[in-house]
Amino acid sequence: MATKSDSIYQLKITLKDSKPPIWRRVLVPGSFSLGKLHQVIQIAMGWTDSHLHMFDIDRTFYGVPSPEDWEPVKNETRFRIDKVAPPEKGKFIYEYDFGDSWIHTVTVEKIVPPAPDGKYPQCIKGKGACPPEDVGGVWGYEEFLEAVGDPEHEEHESMLEWAGGEFDPEALDLEEINEELRRVK
């Protein structure tokens, strides 16, 4: 939880090139590490943390370092948001699943003092359901939506079954997201 002296970062996380648009607006303490921000993004967007990820902030890469990294990667658990994030209106990249390459643009919308009764992290707004894991990136997601949205499509039934029986591309449950976010300390 945030202390009274923490600045709160209002971040808009937008899944690049998604149609329909998929985004979340979250409030996170500036004292959070990028590792905790990774957890927040996973929960807010609806991902399952089943793949590798990386932050790109001004061409410096943060994530979980591995000897197999192509570029040097700094340990995300050692860097606080308020020390590495750009100022208000600045942007950085969060990439999830290097195979499907889900690129998220993270915009620092505001940096504000914490509300006296604020609970952080918190998702305050959003749009669109998270694509299913392993659907093939934004282009695979477009094909998936086409198949599940058309009962006459040859892959309609198999895609619905693969997705768990149903899929609503507009589904978003802020209450459920915030319940999960309360576990991020």
Q: Which residues, other chains included, contact 4 with Cβ-Cβ below 8 Å and sequence gap of 6+? A: 114
For residue 100, being part of any structural domain is answered with: yes
Instruction: Please indicate, yes or no, if residue 3 is contained in any of the structural domains.
Output: no
CA distance 41 to 100: 17
- Residue that has been written with the tokens 């915030």 in this structure: 178
Write out the residue range of the structural domain in which residue 134 sits: 130-167
> Which whole-number Å values give the CA distances from 50 to 14, 42, 144, in the listed order?
20, 10, 20
Confidence (pLDDT) at 42:
98
Verify that 48 and 70 share a domain, yes or no: yes
Q: Which residues contact 23 (CB under 8 A, 6 or more apart)?
A: 12, 13, 14, 15, 126, 127, 128
**Tens digits of per-residue pLDDT, 38-51?**
999 999 999 999 99
Distance CA(152)–CA(49), nearest Å, equals 33
Q: Where are the alpha helices (DSSP H) in 2-68?
A: 34-45
Summarised one tens digit per residue, pLDDT across range 3-51 is: 445 899 999 999 999 988 999 999 999 999 999 999 999 999 999 999 9
Both tokens of residue 103? 């690129």
Confidence of residue 68 (pLDDT cuts 50, 70, 90): confident
Domains: count for the chain: 2
By C-alpha distance, which of 170, 141, 50, 132 is closest to 98? 50
Residue 67 binned pLDDT confidence (cut-offs 50, 70, 90)? confident
124-155 pLDDT tens trace: 999 999 999 999 999 999 999 999 999 999 99
Indicate whether 37 and 117 sit together in one domain: yes
Residue 118 and residue 101 in one domain: yes
* Domain co-membership, 58 together with 141: no
Tell me if 102 sits within 8 A of 15, measured CB to CB. Answer: yes
Distance of CA 4 to the CA centre of its chain: 26
60 in a domain, yes or no? yes
